[in-house]
Amino acid sequence: MRTICLPDVEAAERVGELPEGVRVLVWDATGDPPLGIEDVEFFVGRYIGKPASADALARMPRLQVLQLVSAGVDAWLPALPRGVTLCNGRGVHGASTAELAVAGMLAVLRRIPDAVAAQRRHAWQPRAADGLTGKHVLIIGAGDIGRRIAAAISPFDAESTLMARSARSGVLAIDALHDQLPLHEVVVLAVPHTPETHRLVDAEFLAAMRDGALLVNIARGAVVDTDALVAELARDRIRAYLDVTDPEPLPADHPLWDAPNVLITPHVGGGTAGWQQRAYTLVREQVERFLRGEPLVNVVT
């Protein structure tokens, strides 16, 4: 008998019937675990809420795979047992996150927040606005989300430059970052949060951006030094669209809320209808690969 564990009943329903000889437990790594937890070999982490603790994962001494349905894994790394394979949800949220990145770009460039404010005042106030046409967009992160963003802005006649940790065909190395920043009107962050990307966007990074440039963060809040960003926004020199912040949730009295030229959404990049089915289709496929002894996809190294 092989044993897997899913975070809730809805997840079990979406995964559907598995091959004979597979036992499914339901536990989200909080509270008392169900009987048989010590036999779990494949555990699926919950999407919303705090990650599992090291103590919770230690209750599964036979654990071989920790599967997440989020693209980000950084919050789970401290508790990951040695020797356990970690897989993420790459592809589950890629389209919706790229969609939000482009929506945020357009909202800021076309001054949609100003139009909303004028509408609330019943004021008909046409304003000159910017757009994506002809813009040079630097996308830091050449994975699923970054490539989808590049594809999405192409019909607007925007020119994209992809950048990643190492150079490859069509992708620049991050070493060229400070040479590239002044050449682009829009800079998009689509990287995971790692020690290398922690506060990648610091005062020096922001100072290298051209006047009037737009920073888009749909990655993780801690990729940006928030204090440095607030200071630069206060100078009224650059603009920003942020779906993630540091800290998060953003406290009600944080100065970022009232900074000029910033649009903030509350980390909703992947939260569109249908994500659950995409996520648990991936989970089912991963479980079946695991049971057959086949290589898993989305392995985080």
Count of other CB atoms within 10 angstroms of residue 202: 14
Helices (H) and strands (E) counted in the chain, each on its own, are 9, 12
SS3 83: coil
Q: Which two tokens stand for residue 207?
A: 């100072």
Lookup result for tokens 């049971």: 291
Lookup result for tokens 């982490």: 45
- CA 239, chain centre distance (Å): 20
- Contact assessment for residue 96 and residue 272, using Cβ atoms and an 8 Å cutoff: yes
Closest Cα partner for 146 from 189, 181, 96?
Answer: 189
Distance CA 193, CA 76 (A): 12
Active site residues: 220, 248, 267
Closest Cα partner for 139 from 214, 72, 238, 69?
Answer: 214
Pairing, β 40-44 against β 22-26: unpaired
Distance CA 147, CA 90 (A): 13
Q: Which pairs count as long-range contacts for 31-34, CB under 8 Å and 24+ apart, including other chains?
A: 33/59
